[in-house]
Amino acid sequence: MTLEDVVNGAISPFDDYCDGYGNPGASGMGYISVLKLSTGMVARQMDTVLEAVVAHDRAEKNDAYAGQVNMRNTSSFNGINGAVWGYDLARHDGLTDGSIRPIMRRRRHDGADLPIFPVAPLLDAGRQLFGTEAARRYPLLPGSHVVGATKSITVRGPTSVWSLMALAVAQDRESDSSLFVEDVGRDLPAATPADREALLETRMEDIVDSIMLCGADQHVKYKEIFIGFKTRWIPDGYIGSALTCAPYLVLARNAVPDPVTELLGMSLSEWEYRHGF
């Protein structure tokens, strides 16, 4: 499938809501991945099960709004019938104009140079599509069943909690899948926020190395990687949750132009302008 085929087949039956991939009524066989990292926290004043529910739900609704959905975990690939919001369509302006610079580089298994970029532009694009809890745009249909590459963790303070995501983009999108790596954790052995972030930056390097091994094992050439994390200190008396996810979805009808393939040549800011945001 070409990217044109993908986006033509990735339209929801709902005007103002995105929907999970594989649900009835979509325009075809395509799907879109949207990236999200978030944390949530609640005071410990209920039983631990209920506190964990509220902390996790707050992580889902914070940042890019992905609340009120039945998220089902699946494996972590964006395939040949998939595309990535903010990268392939409604491309983030910082990626288009080159202002987003690599944060590290690696040597691919065939000797090619591989740039690694911050994931922040793709997270920003997801927030622009879904909106926030207070200002929703085209969120997922409330109560919808949504498959996605996701991991989460819920912890009792005092401790740190974190989530991390990487996307390795395949060089040949018509024969290979792009790869998601999700990671979550707690208890970073560091006293200050700067020290905890330094440990997570080291963790990012390990994840990049793992991606390089996965590519070499399956003879898949990745042309670039996007990676980043979110962390939060959970004080004593609180429960905290960290979430990393990339839901696989079809786009709300009103979120796309006619023809929908215009999205492939449209920047994120142009998409926002056309929709009055």
**pLDDT, tens only, 117-126:** 999 999 999 9
Shortest CA distance to 147 belongs to which of 36, 11, 22? 22
pLDDT of residue 114: 96
Mean pLDDT value of segment 173-178:
96
pLDDT at residue 253 tops 90:
yes
Shortest CA distance to 228 belongs to which of 2, 33, 37? 37
Per-residue pLDDT band at 163 (split at 50, 70, 90)? very high
pLDDT at residue 189 tops 90:
no
pLDDT of residue 219: 95
224 is catalytic: no
Please report, as a single letter, which amino acid is at residue 156: R
DSSP code per residue over 114-143 = EEEEESHHHHHHHHHHHB-SSSBSS-BPTT
Contacts of the segment 200-209: beta carbons below 8 A, 24+ positions apart = 200/162, 200/164, 200/229, 200/231, 203/164, 203/229, 204/164, 204/166, 204/228, 204/229, 205/104, 207/164, 207/166, 207/181, 207/183, 208/104, 208/106, 208/116, 208/166, 209/106
Q: Which run of H or E residues covers position 33?
A: strand 31-33
Q: Where are the domains positioned within the chain? A: 3-274
**Fold classification of 3-274 (topology level):** Pyruvoyl-Dependent Histidine Decarboxylase; Chain B (3.50.20)
Q: What are residue 178's phi and psi, to 5 degrees?
A: -80, 155
The catalytically annotated residue of 4, 60, 182, 262 is 182
Mean pLDDT value of segment 174-197:
93
Pairing of strands 159-170, 222-234: antiparallel
Pairing of strands 70-73, 145-156: parallel
Mean pLDDT value of segment 68-85:
95
Mean pLDDT value of segment 54-60:
97
Share of the chain above pLDDT 90, in %: 97
Rounded Cα distance, 170 and 272, in Å: 27
pLDDT of residue 190: 81
Q: Could you give the 3-state DSSP secondary structure of residue 259? A: coil
Q: Which residue has the tokens 């709300």?
A: 252
Q: What is the mean pLDDT of the chain?
A: 96
Q: Could you tell me if residue 109 is left (phi over 0), alpha (psi between -120 and 50 degrees) or otherwise beta? A: alpha
Residue with the bigger pLDDT between 75 and 112: it is 112
Q: Residue 134's CB: how many other CB atoms inside 10 A?
A: 7
Share of the chain above pLDDT 70, in %: 100
Please report, as a single letter, which amino acid is at residue 99: S
Residue 248 in contact with residue 74, Cβ under 8 Å? yes
